[in-house]
Amino acid sequence: MNLRSDAIKKGLERVPHRALLSATGITRKDMSKPFIAVATSFNDIIPGHIGMRDLERFIERGIAAGGGVPFFFGIPGICDGIAMGHPGMRYPLALRELIADSIECFVNAHSLDGLVCLTNCDKITPGMLMAAARLNVPTIVVTAGPMLSGRFKKKRLSLVGDAFEVVGKFKRGEISEADLGCFEEEACPGAGACQGLYTANTMACITEAMGMSLPGCATALAVSAKKRRIAEESGEKIVELVKNNVTSLKIMTRPAFENGIKIDMALGGSSNTVLHLLAIAREAGVDLTLKDFDKISKDTPHIASLLPGGEHFMEDLDYAGGIPAVLKSLRSKIHDVPTVSGMSTHKIAYSAVISDDDVIKLPENAYHAEGGIAVLFGNLAPKGAVVKQSAVSDKMMRFIGRARVFECEEDAQKAILGGKIKDGDCVVIRYEGPKGGPGMREMLAPTAAIIGMGLADSVALITDGRFSGGTRGCCIGHVAPEAVEGGPIAAVKEGDTILIDLAKRKLELKISDKELKSRLKKVKVPAPKVQSGYLARYAKMVSSADLGAVLKV
């Protein structure tokens, strides 16, 4: 084999390199084997990552069994749920870029042959995929798996519905303080990514659908023996990929990206995936735009009813057959492309079994004719805005409301929980975009408060920020251009009329073009919210949401 790692292992001039490698404990025999980097995002504070020490052991066993030498290194992670609703939420999207850069640095500096990415939660998976595309070395992704549902009396619990949304219900007097305490302790019973099709699990499903994880990986529960077996098999498989020179860009092709988007639309996944797939595609040299998402959505039926917009949990999707079964249901629309497993997507689909057709429906019995995400345009979002339409009720598919304008998330949250938002209001939160935030904060706290306050079918929310995968309701995010760049959202005034029409893909501020131009000339952009450190640098370099909020070179 011709290995990348020969650059640090072979030849007389590499005596000092081999001496340093010997200091790590590897043998002379190991010097002839593929060197495999294992990027692990284990830490003690993210529930989705606390079980990774166990999976690391099985990946290590697999690499050794396959004839490789593993080298583990750490990658930072942030729990979006813990960062939610305060300035900490400025960091997760910005961290995505640091993760990609860190992996690039480690793998290229040490001339390693292959890469295993052990990941799970929200921005960490896309950051690792960005690195995989940039490096173009053989890569396999192991997502650590979903969390089991919680339990309270006879009810199954999830983080968003039974922790975030109960805040509003408690404010309304719908639940007691004792029950609130039970929800707090029981909603998240242990290791794993939050139980619905929020961003972490959506990205896991997309990663598998694109062919970058082994079949079954996305939905195999964090606490399962199945996940351990997948981890070990992934370790073996990466050595095989290195030996056969199956690099990441041989898997991450334009058809593979389209497969990922189709699975996202079919399941009704997180709107964050639009940002992430645009960013990953850019690294892979694949031309992908917002219009591609909308085009694919219009041609992909929504065949699963998963949290937050539906009733089923990730554990239900796994028991129903996981992503292979979803591929089977959509097989006529799925491109036949290679995967890291060695099987093509069609072969995976044909060998799959749909064991519960209430959880994974056939296209003719779909919940909706269109997929989960819609892209809106109009004078309020000339470069586009994104909504998870599968989580919007029929009553709110077309909405005309009064603008209630807030310059930050915290002010909007106070107004919602303070009972100041009424039926027919359209909450507008601006200066929370990639630059203005900075970091494009997720708005799960206010969107969950709207649900908890009983306003889901009468109030909309629009922002140049973004939403958690757990958001449901008529919530329009990623409005571009953002306010700090002079986007029309900066010109909205209290009481303005706003039209949202999901079927027609419209987002409009009901004023004349002349009035809009006049207002925009008078807009005074506020000073940057953060003026030092990484976020200040990030704000200066980050692109618009419609381009994936990536750092400009």
Q: Which residues are catalytic?
A: 468
The Cα–Cα gap between 442 and 478 comes to: 10
The Cα–Cα gap between 553 and 128 comes to: 19
CB 62 within 8 Å of CB 503: no
**Burial class for 512, CB neighbours closer than 10 Å (0-12, 13-18, 19+):** exposed
CA-nearest of 524, 525, 443, 529 to 479 is 443
| CA angle (133, 138, 139) in 5-degree steps | 65
Per-residue HEC secondary structure of 119-188 comes to ECCCCHHHHHHHHHHHHCCCEEEEECCECCCEEECCEEECHHHHHHHHHHHHHCCCCCHHHHHHHHHHCC
Measured CA to CA in angstroms, residue 364 lies from 302, 310, 321, 491 at distances of 10, 19, 19, 44
Measured CA to CA in angstroms, residue 86 lies from 13, 218, 439, 442 at distances of 53, 30, 12, 10
CB 325 within 8 Å of CB 360: yes
Give 344's DSSP letter: B
The Cα–Cα gap between 497 and 400 comes to: 7
State the DSSP string of 439-504.
S--B-HHHHHHHHHTT-TTT-EEEESSB--TT--SSEEEEEES-GGGT-GGGG--TT-EEEEETTT
CA-nearest of 108, 97, 372, 418 to 261 is 372
Measured CA to CA in angstroms, residue 122 lies from 116, 136, 245, 450 at distances of 18, 22, 29, 23
Half-sphere exposure of residue 154: CA atoms within 13 angstroms, side-chain side: 0
Report helix angle 124-135 to 199-210, nearest 10: 30
Q: What is the dihedral of CA 263, 266, 268, 269, to 10 degrees?
A: 0
CB 270 within 8 Å of CB 373: no
The Cα–Cα gap between 302 and 417 comes to: 33
